[in-house]
Chain A
Amino acid sequence: MAFFFEVVLGGLLAGVLYSLVALGFVLIFKASGVFNFAQGAMVLFAALTLVRLMGWVPFWIAFPITCAVMIVLAFIIERVVLRPLVNQEGIILFMATLGIAFFLEGFGQTIWGSDIYTLDLGIPKDPMFILESIFDGGLLVDKLDVFAAAVAGALVVGLALFFQKTKVGLALRAVADDHQAAQSIGVPLNYIWLVVWSAAGIVALVAGMVWGAKLGVQFSIALVALKALPVLILGGFTSVPGAIIGGLIIGMGEKISEVYLGPIIGGGIENWFAYVLALVFLLFRPQGLFGDKIIERV
């Protein structure tokens, strides 16, 4: 029984990491309706920038600089890519973000190099035991995963406060609700998009930090975006809580299937299991668990 809970807990903590990446997708989709495939590349770019800057300056200087870089990046994307493509269909914008993804992956690795860098945030990586009083021998968890979960929790609280309590957050929600109506009451769309892409950039930076500390900063962390996609459709493209809950469900399902189903049908199923799990949920709720209900009129 303790083993089962250990698996579940491990899955939940891994799921939090997926949620971190999915959050960036949700922010942008909510506000601009763009399915931003470049989120993974942004995670990679942010992590590379941070880790290389930390070679020269301590973390508390490197972090704000990287934030600034991500904001500049958001500004450039808004100016160069999104503004000329305003009012185009979703698929065209999706394609444009694929272009951005290619560009960023190439650009980041051209200027920062493509080796594997270790990102040391000063968090102990050794496993620890918790809940020893309840379970015999306690449950084994990774300290880094716990840290990541704490960071993700803080980030979500921060975002929720930002959305609910600030003036910009109010404008963001207005834009997410209805572009035209928001614009007609004087919300500057371009500025809002800049804010959203910056926020997504900073979320990417946090995700990059956590993933980088876990796996090392290397090209493969751009691929965590593919892990975040089932989370995204499960939770719904438009829901921040959905990204979190979706991440937890996917993480847990993946771990449980790997441990209990894996030996029966052969290993390595974690690559597709999450997608199939999400697909099953979608058959019952086509807009994801928490997504806005899709209303179609003729």
Chain B
Amino acid sequence: MLYRETGQYKTSYAADQAMFPILQDRIGIVLILIVAFIGVPLIATQYSYTGILIPFLILALAAIGLNILTGYCGQLSLGTGAFMAVGAYAAYNLVIRVPDMNILLAIFLGGGIAALFGVLFGLPSLRIKGFYLAVATLAAQFFVDWLFIRIKWFSNYAPNANAPDLTIFGVSFSSPLERYLFVLTIVCVMALIAKNLVRGRVGRAWMAVRDMDIAAEIIGIRLLHTKLLAFAVSSFYCGVAGALWAFVHLGAWEPLTFDINRSFQVLFMVIIGGLGSILGAFLGAAFIFAVPILINQIPATFGVPISTALAAHLEAMIFGALIIFFLITEPHGFARLWQIGKEKLRLWPFPH
């Protein structure tokens, strides 16, 4: 009943091709945006910005990036952390080495450099497929880890790289609320672009390559072009996410913040959220980011005193078990669960 599209006639091509063809979806999106931009600032506390909302949004952006590569183009990558690191350090070096650099521009240029790097490490994907490629992308991960730890020039000869003040076009983004709105705006715009990209010609080419690359080649899709484009766009998103993570979330960071665990974290988000779904990236990010925080709270809430080491081990256990549980209930992630839910809502609460 809630989701019934009866009576919503499409009378123009524009209406037929709309991003959200169903009225309820449009209302839902507007509601979510209103809540995110206006509702949240009314109630959120200092901690919920810096501890939960900002990192969640940035990781969701990285998850969108990986989803483009893995979910849409079918190239499994374990090098997300590396692409984020390249974005962060490139943006950082642009800011400190180029006079009067606009920070917003630096963040996006950082993403651009990450895209170039992604293309470079995407080249093997033309020969190597599947899990072989996944392991090969680890080469990018470990190489970048080494690069930023060993070559001090990148971090300006300091152990930690320090982010510049976030002043863009004369507006200073220093309080958590301002930073939250800054990140939210970028994430919304980039998510919108991604959503449009994947349903256009480019996205369809990616999906054809994902489903079977030989068949895609036969129907005239250029593999080289398509795969490298996926690597570039994906790395751009990851690079921007990395720059935001460094500049907006952390402020001061060391190379280890972008190590292999970060790559796995983002991969978890994409798979649990749902491969090949922009919405899934957000749902997965919320789940993977929030669950460890919640698990951490549980012993304290019940007043059970346990050591931090034990708490960390229990957290890993519960987290692992939850991943397996969710995979068994719905291997295609939260995005598919939402799809099924929508189907149910068409009729609910009536039986027919």
Using a CB–CB distance below 8 Å, which chain A residues touch chain B? Answer: 35, 80-81, 84-85, 88-92, 94-96, 98-107, 109-110, 114, 226, 229-230, 232-233, 237, 266-269, 271-272, 275-276, 278-279, 282-283, 286-288, 294, 296, 298
Contact = CB atoms under 8 A, between A and B. Distances in A.
A105 B319 CA distance: 11
A266 B324 contact: no
B268 A98 contact: yes
B315 A96 contact: no
Contacts of A98: 264, 268, 320, 323
Contact of A102 (B143, B275, B310, B323): B323
Nearest to B123: A283
Contacts of A109: 309, 313
Judged by DSSP, the binding face of B is helix
A278 B136 CA distance: 8
Contact of A91 (B76, B142, B214): B76
Contacts of A84: 328
Contacts of B130: 90
B317 interface: yes
Given A98-B264, A283-B124, A110 B310 contact: yes
Given A95-B268, A102-B319, A275-B138, 7 more contacts: A96-B328, A102-B316, A103-B324, A275-B139, A282-B127, A283-B127, A287-B132
Contacts of A229: 135, 138
A272 B275 contact: no
B105 interface: no
Given A92-B271, A233-B135, A233-B136, A286 B127 contact: yes
Interface string B276-313: 00000000000000000000000000000000011011
B260 interface: yes
Contact of A99 (B139, B215, B324): B324
B10 interface: no
Contact of B323 (A90, A96, A226, A266): A96
B188 interface: no
B218 interface: yes
